């Protein structure tokens, strides 16, 4: 009988930790999706509608690579430079 309160306490602590981890993962995914959306929108303004292959390549980038692309794209004068950047940064 004395184990029941300890078990309950551990169970509640595990639930709380799981919730916190889930929230953190959700924030990270949301940040990455937000960056993808902004980068794709800006690229669309700069070059017109992107083909699905380019969109998928941008969506596959890590959060760090998205930031790097955001900085680099300021220097892209043509879509070929975007394509080359994506090839180098897969």
Domain residue ranges of the chain, discontinuous segments joined by +: 3-88
Can you give the pLDDT at residue 4?
74
Q: What is the 3-state secondary structure (H, E, C) of the chain?
A: CCHHHHHHHHHHHHHHHHHHHHHHHHHHHHHHHHHHHHHHHHHHHHHCCCCHHHHHHHHCCCHHHHHHHHHHHHHCCCHHHHHHHHHHCC
Q: What pLDDT, in 10s, does the model give residues 31-85? A: 889 999 999 999 999 999 999 999 999 999 999 999 999 999 999 999 999 999 9
Can you give the pLDDT at residue 76?
96
**pTM for the model:** 0.72
């Amino acid at each position: 009988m004395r184990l029941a309160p300890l078990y309950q306490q551990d169970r509640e602590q595990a639930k709380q930790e799981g919730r916190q981890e889930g929230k953190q993962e959700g924030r990270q995914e949301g940040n990455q999706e937000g960056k993808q959306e902004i980068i794709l929108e800006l690229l669309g303004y700069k070059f017109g509608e992107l083909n699905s292959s380019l969109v998928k390549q941008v969506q596959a980038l890590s959060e760090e690579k998205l930031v790097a692309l955001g900085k680099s794209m300021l220097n892209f004068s043509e879509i070929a430079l975007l394509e080359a950047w994506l090839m180098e940064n897969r």
